Structure 1
Amino acid sequence: MNYCLVVNGPVYGTQTSRSAYLFANALIEKGHTLKGVFFYQDGVNNGSALTVPANDEFDLVAAWQSLAQKHNVRLETCVAAALRRGIVSEAEQQLHQLSNSNLAQGFEQTGLGSLAESLLTQDRVVQF
């Protein structure tokens, strides 16, 4: 089956994002296809290039990046939710004439239309 995940929880502070990551790996191990992960609300913080966990903590941003690269999974952050939380792509940096961008490599900023498309085209959408 083809899956899409929606992650609303922050990168750290709750178990939500880590649970979504573990679920994503389990899907792939069972032979399912994970087309994409849509990060919404506080979940957009998973796409920050400025997240620096302690040396003895799991680096969830790097884990998402590795999963996406290894299994061809799209990592999308909602552009409106991301901008409100200070997660800015290079394109948005230029558009809003900001001094920096901080969207992690491998993530892209999209609108809710991308999520709507996944809702219509994937076999299952699971929200965390």
Structure 2
Amino acid sequence: MKFAIALLAGPQDPAARSALKFAEAVLAGGHQISRLFFYRDAVHLASTLGVQPQDECDLAQRWRAFIENNQLDAVVCIAAALRRGVLNEAEADRWERPVANTGEPWALSGLGQWVDALQTADRAVTFGT
């Protein structure tokens, strides 16, 4: 079964951890993830600039490792990312910002990528509000 997973919750929201555990279980169960779509505050998970206290889980790093290790398609909503200061090199240059704070394995793109994922997935699951 193919799953499309949308995450709307930021790194501090328990839904972000639940989404990761669900995604891990999907793959462990022999299923596929057609696309991960990060929207609203979930775009903060794509930022490389967040620092967690040493005694706390670095959820952004866990998501990054999960995506890289499983070679998943992870799309960050470009409109939500720009509003929250999450930029790749191209957008940092375009908007004349001094630094980019995201890159591989994340791709900045529009909501059309989520619609496309819905067309190819057997199930769609959303975490967060």
| TM bracket, shorter-chain basis | over 0.9
Separation (CA, whole Å) in 1 of partners of 2:103 and 2:15: 19
Please give the root-mean-square deviation of Cα atoms over the aligned residues, in Å.
Answer: 1.0
Of residues 103-112 and 79-88 in structure 1, the stretch that sits farther from structure 2 once superposed is 103-112
TM-score using structure 1 length:
0.94
2:54 alignment counterpart: 55
Q: Give ranges in structure 2 of 5+ residues lacking alignment.
A: none
Once the two structures are superposed, residues 86-123 of structure 1 have per-residue CA deviations (whole angstroms, 9 ceiling, x without a partner) of 11111111111211111153111111111110011111
Per the alignment, do residues 51 and 105 of structure 1 end up closer, same or farther by CA in structure 2, a change over 3 Å counting? farther
Relative contact order (C-alpha < 8 Å, sep 6+): which is higher? 2
Identity %: 34
Once the two structures are superposed, residues 37-74 of structure 1 have per-residue CA deviations (whole angstroms, 9 ceiling, x without a partner) of 10001111111111111111111111111111111111
Separation (CA, whole Å) in 2 of partners of 1:53 and 1:35: 29
2:8 alignment counterpart: 8
Shift of 1:25: 0.4
User: Deviating runs (4+, > 4 A) in structure 1?
Assistant: none
1:71 equivalent in alignment to 2:80: no
Cα pair 1:119 1:125 within 8 Å, conserved:
yes
Cα pair 1:35 1:72 within 8 Å, conserved:
no
TM-score using structure 2 length:
0.93
Cα pair 1:49 1:105 within 8 Å, conserved:
no
Shift of 1:35: 2.3
